[in-house]
C-alpha cells in the first residue's frame, strides 16, 4: 500500500479515492493510535470536527463522526469553518483530536481528511504512519475493540465555534481597521462567513466576492488561485486593498489599490518589519522556504532581519519555527504562520494583520509591499525524466554552474525533484523576465537531454 498521508493529510477524489469507508476507518484508527500513545489517559476523549462547504464534505463528515463516536470519542461538530479555526478550537476547547475535511485549494471533486493533535498541532509523521498501519491491519480483518453502552461517543453540534473563533481573531489584532475599504474573495469556501464578519467587526468597510458557497463552486475561478476577479473588484470599488483566501482559508494573498498582486513573500516582508518594530519578531528572524523570492532575502538583509529557509511545505516552516522559537514564517503561496496566535497557516488572521498595518501606518499597501522588489521568477517542469540523477549528473551540474555565473548576484537557480511525479522543477530568478525565461529554457533542455 502506498502512503495515504501526504504533506497535508489524506486527499483524493471524494467517493473514488477518498471513500466514506476510508474516512471512517482512518478516524477509528486515529482514535486507537492516540489512545495507545497516552493522549486520552485518565479522561474521556473529545474531538472537534469541521469541514469546508464541498458537497462531499457532508457524507465524509458523517463517516468521520461515526468512526470517532464508535471508538468512544465524544464529538463536537463545528460545521463549516476554516482549517485554522478547527485547529484553534481543538486547542481552545482542550480537545484531544481535531479533524478537518477539506482539499484546500483543490477543485471541488477532491476532498481530504486532516488530523490535529491536542493543542491544534499537526500530527507527527510517526503518528500518521502508525494510523496507516493500524487502519490497514483492521481493514484486512483484525476486529476493532468496540465500546458498548455508555462507552460509545456522544455527538454534539458546537454552534459557538464561529463566534469564538472570530472573537479570537479580533482579540489578537494590534489595532482596528476603521477607515479601510477591503474587498474579500472567499473562494466560495470555508471562510465565506467568518472572514467578512471578522473584518467588519474590526471596523473595515467590507465588499465580498466569492462568498456564496453552494457545495459545488469552491475555488471555481476565484480565490487565491484565480486572482483576476479580485484585482478587478478592488479597482472597481476604489478599495484600499483586497484579500484572497483558498477553499479552507489557510492561505492569504493580497491586491493593492491599483489591482497589483501582493504575494506571500511580500506579505511576510510587511509583517516581519511590523513585528520587528513591535518587538514581537523573536530573534529578529523570519522563516521562509527555498522557493522564497531572492528579493525577499535581499529585503530582509537590508532590514536587519535574518531569514531561515526550509524545504518547500508549510509543515517544514512550522517545524523550524517550533524548534527554534521563531514567531513568523510562511510561503510564497500565502501560507503565513504567526505562531503566537495560530498553530497553522491562517489566511483570515494574515489578512487582518496586513490590513491592520495599512491602517496603523496610513501608508498604502503598495508602499508597504515596496519594502521588497520581487525578482522575476520562472518555473519550468521537466516531465518524464530520471529525477533521482538530478543531483549527480555532471551535465546538469555544469549547466547550472554556467547559468549561475551568468546571473551573478542578481539571480539564482534552483532544481527540485517532484515528491510525487517523475519530473524535475527548474526555477530561475533574474533581474528581468526575459533573462529568467531564457536561462530556465536552456536548463530545462539540458535536464531533459541528460536525464530523459
Backbone φ, ψ for residue 78 (5° rounding):
-100, -5
181 within 8 A of 239, measured Cβ to Cβ: yes
Q: Hey, what's the cell of 329?
A: 514564517
230 within 8 A of 252, measured Cβ to Cβ: no
Question: Binding site annotation covers 74?
Answer: no
Strands 377-383 and 328-330: unpaired
Shortest CA distance to 339 belongs to which of 277, 294, 275, 292?
275
Question: Binding site annotation covers 104?
Answer: yes
Shortest CA distance to 329 belongs to which of 305, 352, 358, 304?
305
First and final C-alpha spacing in the chain: 28
Residues 119 and 95: their CA atoms lie apart, in Å, by 7
Q: Hey, what's the cell of 305?
A: 532581519
Strands 328-330 and 412-417: unpaired
Residues 408 and 400: their CA atoms lie apart, in Å, by 12
Question: Binding site annotation covers 246?
Answer: yes
* Catalytic residue selected from 104, 195, 320, 393: 104
321 within 8 A of 337, measured Cβ to Cβ: yes
199 within 8 A of 182, measured Cβ to Cβ: yes
- Collapsing DSSP to helix, strand or coil, 293 comes out as coil
Question: Binding site annotation covers 250?
Answer: yes
Q: C-alpha angle 11/13/19, rounded to 5°?
A: 85
Burial of 270 (0-12, 13-18, 19+ CB in 10 A): buried
Indicate the DSSP class of residue 269: H
Radius of gyration in angstroms for the set of CA atoms belonging to the chain, rounded to a whole number? 23
**Chain mean position to CA 76:** 23
Active site residue 393: no
Residues catalogued as catalytic:
104
Which residues carry a binding-site annotation?
Answer: 104, 246, 248, 250
Output the known binding site for Mg(2+).
104, 246, 248, 250
Amino acid at each position: 500500500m502506498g502512503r495515504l498521508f501526504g504533506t497535508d493529510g489524506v486527499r483524493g477524489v471524494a467517493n473514488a479515492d477518498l471513500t466514506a469507508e476510508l474516512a471512517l476507518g482512518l478516524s477509528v484508527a486515529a482514535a486507537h493510535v492516540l489512545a495507545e500513545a497516552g493522549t486520552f489517559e485518565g479522561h474521556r476523549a473529545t474531538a472537534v470536527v469541521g469541514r469546508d462547504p464541498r458537497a462531499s464534505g457532508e457524507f465524509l463528515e458523517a463517516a468521520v463522526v461515526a468512526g470517532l463516536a464508535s471508538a468512544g470519542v465524544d464529538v463536537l461538530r463545528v460545521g463549516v469553518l476554516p482549517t485554522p479555526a478547527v485547529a484553534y478550537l481543538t486547542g481552545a476547547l482542550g480537545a484531544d483530536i481535531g479533524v478537518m475535511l477539506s482539499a484546500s485549494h483543490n477543485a471541488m471533486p477532491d476532498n481530504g481528511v486532516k488530523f490535529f493533535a491536542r493543542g491544534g498541532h499537526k500530527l507527527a509523521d510517526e503518528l500518521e504512519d502508525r494510523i496507516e498501519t493500524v487502519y490497514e491491519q483492521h481493514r484486512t480483518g483484525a476486529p476493532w475493540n468496540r465500546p458498548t453502552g455508555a462507552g460509545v461517543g456522544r455527538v454534539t453540534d458546537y454552534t459557538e465555534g464561529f463566534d469564538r473563533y472570530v472573537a479570537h481573531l479580533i482579540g489578537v489584532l494590534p489595532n482596528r481597521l476603521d477607515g479601510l475599504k477591503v474587498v474579500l474573495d472567499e473562494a466560495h469556501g470555508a471562510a465565506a462567513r467568518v472572514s467578512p464578519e471578522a473584518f467588519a467587526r474590526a471596523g473595515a468597510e467590507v465588499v465580498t466576492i466569492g462568498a456564496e458557497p453552494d457545495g459545488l463552486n469552491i475555488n471555481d475561478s476565484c480565490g487565491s488561485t484565480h486572482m483576476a476577479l479580485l484585482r478587478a473588484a478592488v479597482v472597481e470599488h476604489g478599495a484600499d486593498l483586497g484579500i484572497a483566501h483558498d477553499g479552507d482559508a489557510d492561505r492569504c494573498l493580497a491586491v493593492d489599490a491599483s489591482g497589483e498582486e501582493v504575494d506571500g513573500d511580500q506579505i511576510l516582508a510587511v509583517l516581519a518589519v511590523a513585528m520587528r518594530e513591535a518587538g514581537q519578531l523573536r530573534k529578529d528572524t523570519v522563516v521562509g522556504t527555498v522557493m522564497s523570492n531572492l528579493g525577499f532575502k535581499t529585503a530582509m538583509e537590508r532590514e536587519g532581519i535574518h531569514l531561515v529557509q526550509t524545504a518547500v511545505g508549510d509543515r517544514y516552516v512550522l517545524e523550524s519555527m517550533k524548534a527554534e522559537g521563531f514567531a513568523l514564517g510562511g510561503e510564497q503561496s500565502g501560507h503565513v504562520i504567526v505562531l503566537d496566535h495560530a498553530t497553522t497557516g491562517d489566511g483570515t488572521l494574515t489578512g487582518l494583520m496586513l490590513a491592520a498595518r495599512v491602517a496603523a501606518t496610513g501608508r498604502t499597501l503598495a508602499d508597504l509591499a515596496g519594502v521588497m522588489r520581487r525578482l522575476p521568477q520562472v518555473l519550468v517542469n521537466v516531465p518524464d525524466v530520471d529525477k533521482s540523477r538530478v543531483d549527480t549528473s555532471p551535465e546538469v551540474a555544469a549547466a547550472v554552474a554556467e547559468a549561475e555565473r551568468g546571473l551573478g548576484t542578481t539571480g539564482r537557480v534552483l532544481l527540485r525533484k517532484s515528491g510525487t511525479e517523475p519530473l524535475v522543477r527548474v526555477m530561475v530568478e533574474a533581474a528581468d523576465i526575459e533573462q529568467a525565461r531564457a536561462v530556465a529554457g536552456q536548463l530545462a533542455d539540458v535536464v531533459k537531454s541528460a536525464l530523459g
